[in-house]
Amino acid sequence: MAQKLIPTPSQTVGPFFHLGLDRPEWSDLTAGNPQGTPLGERIVIEGRVLDGDGAPVPDALIELWQANAAGRYAHPDNRQTDKPLDPNFRGFGRVATDAEGRFRFTTIKPGPVPGRGNSLQAPHINVILFSRGLLIHLHTRIYFDGEPANTADPLLSSIEDPAVRGTLLARRAEGSGSQEGTPARYRFDIVLQGENETAFLDL
């Protein structure tokens, strides 16, 4: 086997990444499609990024990657031919935190996607988090509290501590989405360190 190249090390995005990476229009994953709006339930996810002192992180950038409402990723390696691609949904988003560490993005609720073997993964959004002070980005996932498929999800069911598992669950704001035309709002905080630390993934 030929000698492998060493991958380039990660370096922090630092405090000035907005200059190159902040694209506020990418915080709405349902927008920007000339042909119309994507299929599925439109939702809003909002929360805060907090550090080990519980202080807001005002210079974090969150990237989102998810399947469409049918559970298919808009990517050539996803060959689930039984599920349709949605021409109006790319599945990628990006949002920066504000001065109080808050973020908010709009998307559609993803469908379940295949796991390894014959398993099925509950609906989830894949998350990358960058910030000053993170030399390498963090991976986590957003699942939806109360989703029946969560019990059989390979990642969630591998986490024994319910408190740790709970850090991956977005919680629906009471009463939200009940009015016609208003999206359901979900709450999802990301705690970088300490008590209530979010479950991050080694991928």
Partner 1 sequence: MATDPPAFARPRPGTQPPPLYPDYASTQKRAPKRPPIRFEHTLSETTGPVFEGGWAGPDAADLTRQHKGAPLGERMILAGRVLDEDGRPVPGTLIELWQCNSAGRYHHPVDQHDAPLDPNFTGAGQVVTNAEGGYRFLTIKPGAYPWRNSLNAWRPAHIHLAVFGPAFVTRLNTQMYFPGDPLLAYDPIYQSTADAAARERLIAQYDPELSEPEWALGYRWDMVLRGRAATPMDPA
| Contacts (CB under 8 A) with partner 1, residues 80-109 | 90-92
Q: Which is nearer to partner 1, 18 or 146 (CB)?
A: 18
Pairing of strands 102-108, 42-50: antiparallel
Q: Does 197 bind partner 1 (CB under 8 A)?
A: yes
Which one of 31, 37, 136, 157 is in contact with partner 1 (CB under 8 A)?
136
Rounded least distance, CB 104 to partner 1, Å: 20
Residue whose C-alpha is closest to residue 190's, from 157, 168, 162: 168
Rounded least distance, CB 181 to partner 1, Å: 27
Which value, to the nearest 10 degrees, does the dihedral of the CA atoms of residues 10, 22, 65, 131 take? 40
Q: Which is nearer to partner 1, 76 or 181 (CB)?
A: 76
User: Which tokens in the block code for residue 5?
Assistant: 């190249």
Distance between CA atoms of 175 and 43, rounded to whole angstroms?
A: 13
Rounded least distance, CB 62 to partner 1, Å: 12
Q: Which is nearer to partner 1, 47 or 91 (CB)?
A: 91
Which one of 104, 137, 172, 187 is in contact with partner 1 (CB under 8 A)?
137
Q: Quick one: which segment of 36-44, 124-132, 169-177, 180-188 binds partner 1 (CB under 8 A)?
A: 124-132
Residue whose C-alpha is closest to residue 189's, from 67, 62, 90, 2: 62
Q: Is 14 left (phi over 0), alpha (psi -120 to 50) or beta?
A: left
Q: Quick one: which segment of 37-45, 56-64, 100-108, 174-182 binds partner 1 (CB under 8 A)?
A: 56-64
Distances 111 to 2, 21, 96 between C-alpha atoms, Å: 40, 28, 25
- Neighbouring CB atoms inside 10 A of 170's CB total 22
Beta-bridge partners for 66: 125
Distance between CA atoms of 29 and 11, rounded to whole angstroms?
A: 27
Which one of 35, 81, 82, 135 is in contact with partner 1 (CB under 8 A)?
135
Q: Quick one: which segment of 81-89, 101-109, 111-119, 180-188 binds partner 1 (CB under 8 A)?
A: 111-119
Which one of 27, 107, 121, 150 is in contact with partner 1 (CB under 8 A)?
121
